Structure 1
Amino acid sequence: MGRLAVYKFAYFLSILITIFILGLSIFAYFSGKINPVENMFAAYVALSKPILVVVNTILFIYWLIRLRYWLWIPLTGLIVNYEYITSMYQIYNPTKYANENRLKVVTYNVHSFGNEITGFSAKEFAEMMNKEETDVLCFQEYRGYGDFTEQDLQNTYAKIFPYSFIPEGLSQAIYSRYPIRQSQTIEFPNTNNGAIWADLDVKGMTIRIINVHMQTTSFDRMRSKAAQARGEQDEEQERGIYLGYSDNFRENTVRRAGQAEQISSLINATEYPLIVCGDFNDPPGTFTYETLKNGLKDGFQTAGEGYGATYRGFHHLLRIDYLFHSTLLEGIKYKVIPYDMSDHNPVYLEVGL
């Protein structure tokens, strides 16, 4: 095969790859709308969006350098997934000003406050929230540890937040500076995860806060077990752990989908302004994210800047903690607070009422 033939073959192959990636990118755009119960492949494609964005960017640069009109194909792939890109990275959000009626909300998966037995971490974070003048604080994986019990936790945060909703057995809490008119627990079937909500009386205005903790991915637990098996040089056990996780991943993805639909029904039935927050255990663009966001605004997109990662593991690449708000509220300020007490970072959103 001559040099010209090789060149033509490589050129033709690069075109096919570019078109194939565009096809996947278009499917990825719709994948977040497809319930994994009906199509698990769509769930995998939704998770591949960051890879597709990177590949489309590389292909765009490749065709741009070669000065070929094929560059419009990867550019189309990027445009199609622009919503996903902005859910992970915001170049700039202009400063917004609202009237004095504002609400500052923080969500945080505290991971039992780092299993710190003296309560130092919990007290330190409480002081941090007081300095931030936080109005509403939503916790997931809220538990006492060692000598510092849940009652000690409640006593610590009650000094700042006089109102709270802390149901037994769910490891979630809502603390508030404003009175709670009513509250309720939402149990997810066949799991320890769940959701709680509270209607707050904010200067005569009712605001509903929904605090959710979706089904875990168990990814870190799997990696820990696999690493232990690898350390023991047990290749068969390590392989079995990875194979078992594949089934576990599918099961948990389907569970989160059902949980998201359950919360979505509550969102649709709510007639006044609301904020949905918590640990979704799914990145942007997935069925969980799209189902919960439907009709709401992502606080990071309305008021955030930079890269939106919230999870401290996985090389700080994942965004799985969220603050959504209804269109009746204006996103003013959003930030991820670097804090190493947990495997998650706290997420802060200020909205104008």
Structure 2
Amino acid sequence: MRRSFAFKCTLLVLGWVLVAIAALQVPAHQFWPAAFLGLSLPVALVLTGGLAVYWLLRNWRVALLPILMLVLMWPHVQRGFALHPLHLVPSGEKAAGQKVQLLSANVRIFNVYAQLRDKNFSSSRKLIKWLAEQPADVICLQEFYNEPRPSRTNKDVFQSVRRIGPEAHRTPFVSVTLRNAIGAEFGLAIFSKFPIVHRGTIHFGKLTQNHAMFADLRLPSGDTIRVYNAHLQSMSMDERDIVDSYSSKDGLKAKGVGLLRRFKRGLVARSRQVDELVQHMQQCRYPILFCADLNDLPYSYTYDQLADHLQNAHATIGNGIGTTYNGRLPFLRIDQQFASSQWAIDDFGVHYEIPYSDHFPLTGTYRLKK
């Protein structure tokens, strides 16, 4: 009786895995509740692993079922918890080919607002200085902020284009979505040590802070590549509200409906945005590097559509969860770097030592295959 019940539970969990993976293919603008099934996939995969161990101790033939499922779904396991302990950065002949080092980060408008800033703009100065001093060939920034001229209150702290761009021998391309009363610029930015031969923006219908940009770069090898920088729709959900909603029944009643409404709105918007991005990339004839604040998890339609066409840097060579969100909500990897199949990914990492924004910066090293 016990074995029969355990076997039925095993089949149920394996079915759960398959349904959850299928749900990742459903765009939220067609059926948004499917997202909850997709988000449940890590739980189903963990249970599958537990069942594999359980049956190995009791009946190895039955154990083959969950083991086979894990083998077949290993790329989905790697999305949530990557395992590449033996990966080494290539050297010598193995490292032949044009390399590009890409740094990306959501810089949270360099903490310019009063509720974000600290004394003497210390974190703002440190972050801009750190970015300017990085050896990266290309830097892509979301929630970018720049003051073209020194201001009376901020002086020259936020002249970020000048410092990360020309002073660091990089060409700037800023996609400005908003200018305030003092002429300060908000938007996205790409900085490149390579010549920019073509550039453009993707508005997603209306140009807001949530949009995408691209730049075609000419490498010393003579190859042309395309770099995308995107900031997809946020949930507009305060993390304090999220914590309150699951801390108590009263918190859930007070915050739950509003959070669900915003959650749905974000899902629907991102599903349309990623569809437009993928369509745009499919028309590109150059090798692609893509970086973004996706505002979505690896078990989502957004990530799944990108992973269907590109290789994710962390999932390909990284280790562990790869958390990128620097806030009260743990284990969130919402910032990503992807590369098309023409690239080999030599190195990738998250800069946990740089805590000046609510997102940690990422750096990847990519090599064009010969």
Shift of residue 76 of structure 1?
3.3
Q: Secondary structure at the match of 2:194?
A: coil
Distance change (3 Å), C-alpha of 1:253 and 1:166: same
| Residue equivalent to 2:140 | 138
1:31 partnered with 2:19: no
TM-superposed deviation, 1:230: 10
Once the two structures are TM-superposed, the CA of residue 212 in structure 1 deviates from its matched residue by 0.7
Corresponding residue for 1:164?
Answer: 172
Amino acid at match of 1:217: M
For the 8 Å contact 1:105–1:349, the answer to whether it is kept is yes
Q: Aligned in 2, Cα 1:185/1:177: closer, same or farther, shift over 3 Å?
A: same
Structure 1 residues not aligned, in runs of 5+: 1-7
The aligned residue for residue 273 of structure 1 is: 287
Q: For residues 226 and 306 of structure 1, do their structure 2 counterparts lie closer, same or farther at Cα, with a shift above 3 Å needed?
A: closer
Aligned-pair CA distance for 1:48: 1.2
Whole-Å separation in 1 of the counterparts to 2:334 and 2:246: 28
Q: Which residue in the other structure is 2:350 paired with?
A: 336
For residues 148 and 304 of structure 1, do their structure 2 counterparts lie closer, same or farther at Cα, with a shift above 3 Å needed? farther
CA contact (8 A) 1:122 1:153 kept: no
Output one character per residue of 1:89-143: Cα deviation in whole Å (capped at 9) or x when no partner: 1233233242363110011011222433645434433443455411111111112
Moved more, 291-300 or 310-319: 310-319
State the distance in 2 between where 1:307 and 1:229 align. Answer: 25
Cα separation, 1, equivalents of 2:242 and 2:331: 21
Alpha carbons 1:90, 1:307 under 8 Å: kept = no
Whether 2:101 is the aligned partner of 1:104: answer yes
Task: Decide which moves more: 308-317 or 157-166.
Answer: 308-317
Cα distance, 1:208 vs. partner? 0.9
CA contact (8 A) 1:144 1:150 kept: no
Aligned to 1:304: 318
Q: What is the match of residue 246 of structure 1?
A: 260
| Aligned residue identity for 2:210 | N
Measure the CA separation in 1 of the matches of 2:139 and 2:357: 16
SS for the counterpart of 2:302 is helix
- In structure 2, distance between residues paired with 1:151 and 1:343: 18
Match of 2:35 among 43, 49, 64: 43
| Secondary structure of 1:134's aligned partner | coil
SS at match of 2:366: strand
- 2:240 maps to 224
Q: Which residue of structure 2 aligns with residue 5 of structure 1?
A: none
Q: State the alpha-carbon separation in 2 of the partners of residues 116 and 91 from structure 1.
A: 38
Distance 2:290 2:209 in 1: 19
Equivalent residues in 2 for 1:1-353, closer than 5 Å:
8=1, 10-67=2-59, 69-87=61-79, 88-92=81-85, 93-97=87-91, 98-99=95-96, 101-114=98-111, 115-116=116-117, 118-129=120-131, 132-143=134-145, 147=154, 152-158=159-165, 159-169=167-177, 171-189=187-205, 192-203=209-220, 204-219=222-237, 221=238, 223-225=239-241, 235=250, 239-313=253-327, 316-338=330-352, 339-353=354-368
**Does structure 2 conserve the Cα–Cα contact (< 8 Å) formed by 1:185 and 1:196?**
yes
Q: Is the 8 A contact 1:310 1:316 kept in 2?
A: no
Instruction: State how far apart, in whole Å, the 2-side matches of 1:126 and 1:178 are.
Output: 20
Quick one: distance in 2 between partners of 1:39 and 1:49?
18
Looking at structure 2, the residues matched to 91 and 349 of structure 1 have their Cα atoms a distance apart, in angstroms, of: 15
Which letter maps to 1:111?
Answer: R
TM-score (norm 1): 0.86
Is the 8 Å Cα contact of residues 188 and 213 (structure 2) preserved in structure 1?
yes
Whether the aligned pair in 2 keeps the contact of 1:29 and 1:81 (CA below 8 Å) is no
- The range that moved more, 239-248 or 255-264, is 239-248
Give a deviation string over 1:31-54, Cα, whole Å, max 9, x none.
222222333343212111211121
After superposition, the CA RMSD in angstroms is 2.8
Once the two structures are TM-superposed, the CA of residue 240 in structure 1 deviates from its matched residue by 3.9
- What residue in structure 1 maps to residue 181 of structure 2? none
Aligned identity (percent) is 25
Assess if the C-alpha contact under 8 Å between 1:32 and 1:287 holds in 2: yes
Deviations 1:162-219 (A, max 9, x none): 3111122252111111221121121123664101111112223211110011111234
State the alpha-carbon separation in 1 of the partners of residues 310 and 64 from structure 2. 32
The residue identity in structure 2 corresponding to 1:30 is A
Structure-1 separation of matches of 2:219 and 2:159: 27
Residues 71 and 256 (structure 1 numbering): CA distance in 2 closer, same or farther, change over 3 Å? same
- Contact 1:273/1:328, CA 8 A, preserved across alignment: yes
Q: State which drifts further: 127-136 or 79-88.
A: 127-136
Task: Give distance in 2, aligned partners of 1:66 and 1:254.
Answer: 45
1:174 and 1:110 mapped to 2: Cα distance? 13
2:29 aligns to what SS in structure 1? coil
- For these two proteins, the number of residue pairs brought into alignment is 341
- Deviations along 1:232-257, one digit per CA (max 9) or x if unpaired, are x993x751421122122122111111
Is the Cα contact below 8 Å between 2:84 and 2:317 reproduced in 1? no
Give the TM-score taking structure 2 as reference length. 0.82
1:215–1:281 Cα contact (<8 Å) kept: yes
